[in-house]
Structure 1
Amino acid sequence: MATLRQINYHPFRVNIQNDQVHWTKSNHQNIEGLPQIIWQDNTTWSEANLWALEQATSFRSSIKTVRSNMSHLLAYAKWLESESIDWWQFPDRESERCLNRFRGALIQARNSGELAPSTASQRMAAVIRFYKWARDLGLISTEWPMWKDKFVGIKLTNQFGLEHTLKVASTNLAIPNRTVAGPVQLEDGLLPLSVKAMKEVLNFADENASKELALMLRIGFFTGLRIGSITDLKVSTLQNAITVPEVGIKTISVGPSAYPPVDTKFDVSGSVPIPNELLEMLLDYASSIRRLKRQSLSSENDQDLLFLSRFGNNYKADSSSAINVEMSRLRKLGLKSGVTVLRGFYFHRTRATYATELMKVALNAMPVADAVEFVKEACLHKDISTTMKYVKFIETSKLMKEASDAFTEAFMGLSRSKAVNE
């Protein structure tokens, strides 16, 4: 199947002197870890790789965004190979076009629980962006019937409560993000697990997942770090953990300003609390024979990474697709084994669970304003509005439970009265 590889791109420019070609190093900045797609027959997907280079050199996208886009395009490339379809297959019959068929495959994967709703939406959007770029550059024909353009209106509310509608260009191939409906939408529309369900997931992962995934899930549940940050954790990050004076809790530093730096969303830097038991568990793993064998196979730049694949590669190189594959296998195995809590479970729900439970504890221990600020800092939220969703979720859930209990009591009372009368 197609693979995603990273190269260190060094820009050169060509000069013609005395009818001879000379290559000289360009003043443009080198790009470390530029993602490139290789087909199964070891040929390169030139158009897609050129798109990655254009994104990385335009300064409109960070290298993390480029890798994310290319990971979605890699999934598309793998699907094309599995279906024996060319990426330029656009016949008159709409149902036979490559993009329409891929959209159907994504929706099916979403509905079956193999893909998170947000992932399906983002994957289709990334593929469409690539085709639009290729069409604008004339790499593919503008006459091909690829999609139908449309405009959708998005309602926005400002801080004063005034609404306005923003028109956004879209296509008929876009996949709406069908998130879980609930009383309050948390980050990415995912709901937290109960503490009991969390323990079920961890126990099942300990017995059926790799050591690495089991530890990653623990980090997600007990620190709230995203998978992108977890796969970029360094052994030095753990060794440099500090103890907060007079409090006793330990924290690890993440973000671009940390030493060593650890990737975070929006490049937010901060200190994340970590339970001492989990910290010791991770340090033991860092010095285990299992990890040291992987470290011996890794490149010099990856030596300090906490998590490495069995071939010594870093997980972040493929935007965590290896983790997504193992998570999918774990869900399927869990459902076969009767572990129903794994139905609809995605890695990011570990973060929603952590933030919810942390907010419950904080609200019981300090004033609301202090609790919100504490959770905001612990979860590295960019905006306080994201943190406030957890307060509202907890309050709404409590009210719903009270209403449910009252309804049940009233219903049972009516049922008993009816039974007596009969």
Structure 2
Amino acid sequence: MRLVLANEKLVVSGRTYEGFPLLLDDKSDAIQPAQRFLWELLLSPGKRNSKDTWAAYGRSLYDYFAFLSANNLDWTANPALGSAGPLVKYRDWSRGELELSPRTVNQRMRIVVRFYVWALETRLIETLPFDKSTIRLNPDPGFASHLNSGDVLTQTPDVLLREPGLSIPFITKEQAKDCLQNISNYTHQLIFQLMLRTGLRQVECRTFPEKYVFDPTRRKDLSIGQKIRISLNPRDMRIKFNKPRDIDIPYDLMEDLFWYASRHRQKRENNVSDDSKFATLFLTETGRPYGKTAFTDIFSRLTSRVNYKVRPHMLRHTYATYLLWSLRKSKDFKGEPLLYVRDRLGHSSVKTTAKYLHLINNLEGHLILQHEDELDKLFSSED
């Protein structure tokens, strides 16, 4: 078995499906009905799944069916009373042999569960290989309580693992300063700053175009200390769900990005081995855009230097946490802080943004109060 992400040559009804997951057996035939499930679920009318979502579904199903194949298990088999079925065996193998976290196991399991629900709906199986348990959700009261309507009953598959209470991983101002001191590469410093101070995802930062950068000192409508509104367009860069949005770049960071683009980036661009030109702002030392796993590697090396975990997405969480905190405290801000942060992050639903409220409400006051001016002070000339 193998998983292949289609190239631009996969065209169906005049549409290109580059990046779509293909599950193939040793004869390069599609593994059914898993492949049919992917087509029907991910490409159904109205769906706006990203290539990353496609890949996640493909990897999870490939992992499950590869496990079944290696252990001669039938995905349709119903477990005998008191014995473990293929789904439970896969779960226990993922947790025990692979030592994956409960959260990671459940993320994969939920996709496989959806496959089984689809198989039941399409009459490929007669019963589901799991039961459902009813649980009661208790939304947090307080700020944005208008989003909640009291206790909510929901059902969850009983094959999922119990997850310990998870907090959103973010870094403090002191850790941010420590990280910057441990990043010697100037390009990597700016990458770190851009994600930390605007909430960009790593794929958005990797593909952030040079043409968005300019010299703010030449704009009479801008002043030092101002936030500069930049409109992100999926035609220019990779954005989740191809959804345009606006971000606010601090004036001093725009100055640094412009200096990088006109000086440092130009030197890197001259190192390219051919005549290729690239639109992305950040280039490697060879003059090419950063690859898909490059930022993960950069942050892994940073983690080893500072001796605590730092991941690219933590910078996005950090930005959202301190921005929401500062806007809630501000007497000058006009509007709904939660909606403003939602728009900057590009969340489809305000309920996704509301998870940061839970983090803020559970942080000890002294921890957050150290950062009333949150992250901008870290980069000011006064520090």
- Bin for the TM-score computed over the shorter chain: 0.5 to 0.7
Shift of the 150–367 alpha-carbon distance from structure 1 to 2, 3 Å rule, reads: same
Is it true that 1:124 corresponds to 2:109 in the alignment?
yes
Q: Which residue of structure 2 lines up, in the alignment, with residue 163 of structure 1?
A: 150
Shift of the 167–370 alpha-carbon distance from structure 1 to 2, 3 Å rule, reads: closer
Larger Rg: 1
List gaps (5 residues or longer) in structure 2.
Answer: 370-383
- CA offset at residue 173 of structure 1? 2.0
Q: Which residue of structure 1 lines up, in the alignment, with residue 37 of structure 2?
A: 51
Is it true that 1:190 corresponds to 2:168 in the alignment?
yes
Is it true that 1:104 corresponds to 2:92 in the alignment?
yes
Q: Which residue of structure 1 lines up, in the alignment, with residue 308 of structure 2?
A: 341
1:284-338 per-residue CA deviation (whole Å, 9 max, x = no partner) reads 4487259846995x9xxxx54557999x8996xxxx6x4697489558x72xx6x
Structure 1: distance between partners of 2:40 and 2:355? 37
Q: 1:8-47 residue pairs with structure 2 within 5 A?
A: 8=8, 9-11=10-12, 26=13, 30-39=15-24, 41=26, 43-47=28-32
1:63-120 per-residue CA deviation (whole Å, 9 max, x = no partner) reads 31x641542431552576589346735584787654324323554699x7x7693x54
List gaps (5 residues or longer) in structure 1.
Answer: 12-25, 181-188, 404-422
- CA offset at residue 224 of structure 1? 0.9
The answer to whether the 8 A contact 1:37-1:44 is kept is: no
Structure 2: distance between partners of 1:115 and 1:244? 52
Root mean square deviation, CA, Å:
5.1
The one-letter code of the counterpart of 2:247 is S
Structure 2: distance between partners of 1:5 and 1:313? 21
1:259-297 per-residue CA deviation (whole Å, 9 max, x = no partner) reads 63651469352233151224544674487259846995x
The answer to whether the 8 A contact 1:200-1:341 is kept is: no
- CA offset at residue 190 of structure 1? 0.7
Is it true that 1:146 corresponds to 2:129 in the alignment?
yes
Matched position secondary structure for 2:146: coil
Q: 1:285-300 residue pairs with structure 2 within 5 A?
A: 285=265, 288-289=268-269, 292=272, 296=276
Is it true that 1:399 corresponds to 2:357 in the alignment?
no
Is it true that 1:351 corresponds to 2:349 in the alignment?
no
Is it true that 1:245 corresponds to 2:238 in the alignment?
no
Bigger fraction of residues in strand: 1
The answer to whether the 8 A contact 1:103-1:124 is kept is: yes
Bigger fraction of residues in helix: 1
- CA offset at residue 354 of structure 1? 1.8
The answer to whether the 8 A contact 2:2-2:25 is kept is: yes
- Count how many residue pairs are aligned between Structure 1 and Structure 2: 350
Identical-residue share of aligned pairs (%): 15
The one-letter code of the counterpart of 2:6 is Q
Matched position secondary structure for 2:107: helix
Structure 1: distance between partners of 2:273 and 2:86? 42
Pick aligned residue for 2:62 from 66, 77, 96: 77
The answer to whether the 8 A contact 2:130-2:158 is kept is: yes
TM-score, length of structure 2 as denominator length: 0.65
Structure 2: distance between partners of 1:287 and 1:266? 31
- CA offset at residue 129 of structure 1? 1.2
